[in-house]
Amino acid sequence: MFEEFSSVSIEKALNSRVSTGGFLLAGHFGKRRNTALFASEIEFCFWCMDNTPRISRAPLKVEFQGRTASPTESKLQQVFAPFKPLKKGTVAWLDPTPQGYGSIEQTALLAQRGNSQEMIHLAGAIAGFGVCMIGGTTVELVPMIRYFSDSAPENFVKGNLPEPVRNGKSSAVECLRDLPSDTGLGPAVLSEDEIGQLL
């Protein structure tokens, strides 16, 4: 599955510059692609979201192109199929806010949503699409050219830290496939310290 992306190492994916910026910072972190998003890229995005370890059992809901599904109840990859090329795709989270602002349940749900959003960034780095955040609940997937070179891209401002190593032997796809689907923690046993450690 997803053999076309399996050659990308986890180090290269985590240290790439492709998945940040979307429209506004494309010149800094990569270049826009003239083609549409490929169906395989969109499917891979939802496969990655399906592999996000769960730390909340609240009914998280995701909307894509007018369709809604809950990753705690079904596989997004299956619900949103079949996939077709798109100029851009919009993913939104429609999860309800648990009762009790600042409660452990609400914190776990927000952390779960954040982890899911981070997984989309990682999927983009592996498959080659950009991610543009809109507020805290919506992202746009945009076609971009992967930038895996060790040299800095145009307009990149070098910092004081050395550049990270981008070459590795472990396939990012295989690493994501081996992630446990559930942390084993639920609202009854979660604490603020545990949530902080998970993040």
The full set of domain ranges for the chain reads: 3-154+164-198
What is the pTM (predicted TM-score) of this model?
0.79
Q: How far apart are CA 87 and CA 91, in angstroms?
A: 14
Is the per-residue pLDDT at 85 higher than 70? yes
Q: Which residues does residue 144 pair with via DSSP β-bridges, in sequence order?
A: 32
Question: Residue type at 118?
Answer: E
> For the segment 87-122, what is each residue's pLDDT rounded down to a tens digit?
888 898 876 555 555 677 777 777 778 888 888 888
Determine if residue 55 is left, alpha or beta; phi over 0 gives left, psi from -120 to 50 gives alpha, anything else beta: alpha
Q: How far apart are CA 96 and CA 84, in angstroms?
A: 29
Is the per-residue pLDDT at 2 higher than 70? yes
Q: Which residues does residue 54 pair with via DSSP β-bridges, in sequence order?
A: 182
